[in-house]
Amino acid sequence: MELGLDGKVVLVTGGSKGIGLACAEAFAAEGARIAICSRSKENIDKALINLSGAIGVCVDLSDADAAAEMIDRVELSLGPVDILVNSAGAAQRTPPDELTPAAWRKAFDAKFFSYINAIDPLVKRMAKRGAGVIVSVIGAGGRVASPTHLAGGSANAALMLATAGLGSAYAGAGVRVVGVSPGLTETGRVAEGLAAEARLANISIDEARRRGVARIPIGRMASPREIAEAIVLLASARAGYVTGVTVTMDGGQNPIVL
């Protein structure tokens, strides 16, 4: 399928591993020009080995000024960003009785503001240019509460609302804003989450994984590539009438009407 992404400038936050890296690779395969960012220069260097012609920027996106500077650097090197994919940041899993106001704030800095600090300057630039797409990877915890992911899940829920609101606010300016909400996916972040679930339930990580997969009707976790392929489609003109929604990709785990 021709997606019309050849030559598009795509910025992937958190693009050095997991779903973010899979997105960078999938867009590159469509001929897009890729920029990735991460807090880890080591991870960026590893990712760039297989991303010919891509650039990488080391940045902590919880810092709004640093995020804006990163965008300036990317656009100076590659030109105006056509597509932003947000996949950076993850809130630490914390049992309910260990939550504090500081832990809640840290979760929002790690997940919500690491996205918003990139979205806010770029959605305004895209609106002035009359075109652009923003796709955010938003965890399923924003729709279904998990005991060990209440703070991070709340940040995800806030991102879903921001996606709906921004999608509506900027639709007339030619900018689409979309979310993708994966369930369990074969990534390091999910492995960390399963470890937290195992500690809370006093079971082994293998048992936590088995129980997690058992709740998925499709019978397995998603691969990062599967999530990335959906994101590439949503970012393309083939999904040109899709905005302001968050698409669930959980293998049928949460059969709810939204």
Give the pLDDT score at 48.
97
- Tell how strand 83-86 and strand 132-137 pair up: parallel
Cα diameter, the chain: 53
Number of domains making up the chain: 1
Residue 155 lies in a domain: yes
* Tens digits of residue pLDDT in 19-37: 999 999 999 999 999 999 9
CA distance 231 to 228: 5
Q: How many C-beta atoms surround the C-beta of residue 97 within 10 A?
A: 6
Query: In the predicted model, is pLDDT for residue 1 greater than 70?
Result: no
The pLDDT confidence band at residue 84, using thresholds 50, 70 and 90, is very high
Residue 217 lies in a domain: no
pLDDT at site 140: 81
CATH number of the CATH domain containing 156: 3.40.50.720
Give the percent of the chain with pLDDT over 90: 74
Beta bridge partners, 13, equal 37, 86
**Residue 37 placed within a domain:** yes
Whose tokens are 């867009």? That residue is 27
| Selection from 37, 34, 47, 35 nearest residue 7 by Cα | 34
Q: 138 is in which domain, residue-wise?
A: 9-183+222-248
pLDDT digits (tens, 9 = 90+) for 184-223: 888 887 787 788 778 878 899 889 889 989 999 999 999 9
Q: Look up residue 6 and give its two tokens.
A: 């050849």
Mean pLDDT in residue range 118-123: 98
Q: Does a structural domain hold residue 256?
A: no
* Contact of 166 with 119, CB cutoff 8 Å: yes
* Per-chain mean pLDDT for the chain: 93
Quick check: pTM over 0.85?
yes
Q: Report the alpha-carbon distance of residue 74 to residue 71 in Å, rounded.
A: 5
Decide if 143 is inside a domain.
yes
pLDDT at position 256: 77
User: Which amino acid belongs to residue 26?
Assistant: A
- Expressed in angstroms, the distance from the first to the final Cα of the chain is 30
Contact 100, 107 (CB under 8 A): no
Residue 166 has pLDDT above 80, yes or no: yes
Residue 90 lies in a domain: yes
On whether residue 84 sits in a domain, the answer given is yes
In sequence order, which residues have a C-beta less than 8 Å from that of residue 120 and are 6 or more positions away? Answer: 64
68 occurs within a structural domain: yes
